[in-house]
Structure 1
Amino acid sequence: MNDSRHQNEVTLMNKVTIVGSINLDTTLYLQRVPEPGETIRIQKLITSGGGKGANQAIAAQRLGAKVAFIGAVGTDDVGQQMLNLLRAAAINVDGIAQLADHTTGQAFITVDEQGENRIMINAGANTAFTPEQVRQSQPLITTSDFLIAQFETELKSTLEAFSLAKKAGVKTILNPAPAIASIPPELLALTDIIVPNETEAEILTGVHVYDEKSAQLAATKLADSGVSIVVITLGKAGVYYQTASQQGLIPALRVKAIDTTAAGDTFIGALASVLQPDFSNLTEALLFGNQASAITVQRLGAQDAIPFKDEITPD
């Protein structure tokens, strides 16, 4: 997973800092998910680096950004392994705390023959990361172009990070995953771009999201909360976006998906890697994210599946 071949290719890089989760992923590839009480054989097992935050960091770096990470691991062997993976990817790990009283996070993932995944998480150190530890990494946040966060870490730590970012004029991207029924209004007020998938958008808004029209209804509800830009990923249906002045659906590329595990994380990392801080190239950045995630779903695993920038073919 050494990304050194790409470290010197980009001269003008977005600076992206991610506050998020770091996990060891154990992925089980199955013909189908077993019924209650049923035992079935797995077809393949893979262990790899994961966590929504770490996946997004890897994606942003591979796709052209200069990336720093803020989060936590345990002092166990798994934690050291995850730190080494991020360092090998040329990601700044100065903001990652090593917590002696907690194990490193782990995720257990099943993937069926349609490439659809189901994810179960043991959060470990990810939820022990405090606002005080975020403040210790303030320089990483305030010197960034974009700050990204998800909901696999403590909400109060995300709120602290977004507050520091907004005071410094840094643009914020919130990936509300795993979804919660109600996002604190003060966090939404600090969010420039929110990027849920269709399931998360439904949980947040109560709108069943399945096509462009329903995505528009959900996006309008989210925009009414004060978020500048709403981007809803719709899987095979594409990506719906809405700003104060424009909206539209970007169709998904037609590919054969074998594993969708890191598709959303790839999309978000790709978006942050090329988006201008004034959002002037939003449509182009969304198209770039679409292309990157289309490559990811054609490969097995999470971080191993994320493409490099030179694999993206311009339209």
Structure 2
Amino acid sequence: MSNNVVVLGSINVDTTYHVDRFPQPGETISAVSKSSAPGGKGANQAVAAARSGAKTAFIGAVGSDKEGAYMLESLADDHIDTRHIMTDELHGTGSAAITLDANGQNDIMVYGGANQAMATDVLNGIDDVLEDADFLISQFETPQEVALNAFKQAKKYGVTTLLNPAPAHEILPELLKYTDVITPNESECALLTGIEITDEESMLKSADYFRERGVKHLLITLGSKGVFYSTPTAHGLVPAFKVKAVDTTAAGDTFLGALSSQLEKDLSNVDKALVYAQRASSLTVQQMGAMPSIPNHDAVIKALAEN
């Protein structure tokens, strides 16, 4: 199976500061080491999809700087179609400063740059990738208006749209009407719906909330507890794989990109695809860095066979 996936989203260069513990407010601490790697939610998701075998195209923007050239090269190295990545002459390439502690937990500060300055003109001429696409993915590190317009275009071609509402903030009501699958984590879900995630009942209520607003399918990532899914015909919890995490930076992005590579457009194989996606994510958190830690299809299949 080989899906065609289009990702509209953010492109960042990640700089990670490795620390023993997070600083207290007003406190200065020393970083043990520092490293840089390609990242951004959108770019991570595209790489995860591509490494799991999906034919992948990217819609986005970078600055006319060395970081932008570096990111275009990084995406092309994973055989991602970069023709629809614009160069912004006024804004720099997005970047993220990540603080990573000894337990593998992180804090992230993001500079939007070209990502946040993106306008709907980035969508000019994207019909050539949408007409063959199975899935279009977007997140909230780029403007919602651009995602809305892209999702509208995607619907003309029968593309299944996936919205990753991260970082979470208020969603344009019209965007939900064009969203087929929404994939928040539990805190994002609670922030968006006002329903605290405590048990299955609260998750089903959350699914009802989104369904009333036009979204048929809800996937809530629950960290070490797994993933809850709700479709119009079924719901359930797919457990997570237990591993020792060293860096959780791209865990959610790997999950979503890997999922899009395996999922049927009608979500008929959602259980199986979720197992695959969670296995991919479990491999990512055992390695350092965002994009460098994302596994390929063979590594995921091998890990599934060992489990």
Band of TM-score, shorter chain: over 0.9
In structure 2, the CA distance between the partners of 1:189 and 1:21, relative to structure 1 (3 Å rule), is same
User: In the alignment, which residue of structure 2 is the partner of 1:274?
Assistant: 262
Q: State yes or no: 1:234 paired with 2:222.
A: yes
1:58-89 C-alpha deviation (Å, 9 max, x unpaired): 00000110000000000101100000101111
The aligned runs of 1:73-84 (5 Å cut-off) are 73-84=62-73
What is the correspondence of 1:78-227 to structure 2 with a 5 Å cutoff? 78-180=67-169, 182-227=170-215
The Cα offsets for residues 199-218 of structure 1, whole Å up to 9 and x where unpaired, read as 11111011222554433332
Contact 2:180 2:217 in 1 (8 A): yes
Contact 1:104 1:124 in 2 (8 A): yes
Q: Distance in 2 between matches of 1:289 and 1:248?
A: 16
Specify the SS of the correspondent of 1:129. Answer: coil
- Alignment partners' CA distance in 1, 2:16 and 2:202: 32
Say whether the 8 Å CA contact 1:108–1:119 is kept in structure 2: yes
Q: CA deviation at 1:44?
A: 2.4
Long gaps (5+) in structure 2: none
Do the aligned partners of 1:150 and 1:175 also contact (CA within 8 Å) in 2?
A: yes
Structure-1 residue corresponding to 2:291: 303
1:25 equivalent in alignment to 2:17: no
Match of 2:46 in 1: 57
1:115-147 CA distance string (max 9 Å, x none)? 122111110000122112213222212321100
Shift of residue 41 of structure 1?
1.4
Task: Write the distance in 1 (CA, Å) between the matches of 2:271 and 2:124.
Answer: 33
The DSSP-based 3-state class of the residue aligned with 2:266 is: coil
Cα deviation for residue 177 of structure 1 reads 0.7
Among all aligned residue pairs of Structure 1 and Structure 2, give the percentage whose two residues are the same amino acid.
49
Query: Hey, what's the Cα distance between the residues in 1 that align with 2:205 and 2:286?
Result: 31
Question: Match for 2:211: what amino acid?
Answer: A
- Cα distance in 1 between the residues matched to 2:93 and 2:213: 34
Asked whether the 8 Å contact 1:16–1:273 carries over to 2, the reply is: yes
> Which stretch of the first structure deviates more once superposed, 214-223 or 34-43?
214-223
* Counterparts of 1:87 and 1:214, CA distance in 2: 42
SS of equivalent to 1:118? strand
Aligned partners of 2:10 and 2:41 also within 8 Å: yes
Query: Is this contact kept in 2: 1:60–1:272, CA < 8 A?
Result: yes
Whether 1:35 and 2:35 are equivalent positions in the alignment is no
TM-score by length of 1: 0.93
In the superposition, relative to structure 1, how do residues 157 and 241 fare at CA in structure 2: closer, same or farther (>3 Å)? same
Question: Is contact 2:6–2:59 with CA below 8 Å preserved after alignment?
Answer: yes
Q: List aligned pairs for 1:1-20, cutoff 5 A.
A: 12-20=1-9
C-alpha spacing 1:27/1:81, structure 2 compared with 1 (3 Å): same
Offset of 1:278 from its aligned partner? 2.2
Residue segments in structure 1 that go unaligned for 5+ positions in a row: 1-11
Q: Are residues 1:71 and 2:60 paired?
A: yes
Residues 178-227 of structure 1 show CA distances to partners (whole Å, capped at 9, x for unaligned) of: 101x3122111111110011111111011222554433332332222221
Counterpart-to-counterpart distance in 1, 2:243 and 2:204: 25
- Aligned residue for 1:136, secondary structure, equals coil
Relative distance call for 1:211 and 1:259 in structure 2 (3 A) is farther
CA contact (8 A) 1:71 1:95 kept: yes
Q: Which residue of 1 aligns with 2:274?
A: 286
Provide the rounded CA distance (Å) in 1 between the counterparts of 2:243 and 2:211: 31
**1:199-258 deviation per Cα after TM superposition (whole angstroms, max 9, x unaligned):** 111110112225544333323322222211100001111101101111111111111111
Please report the RMSD computed on the Cα atoms of aligned residues, expressed in angstroms: 1.3
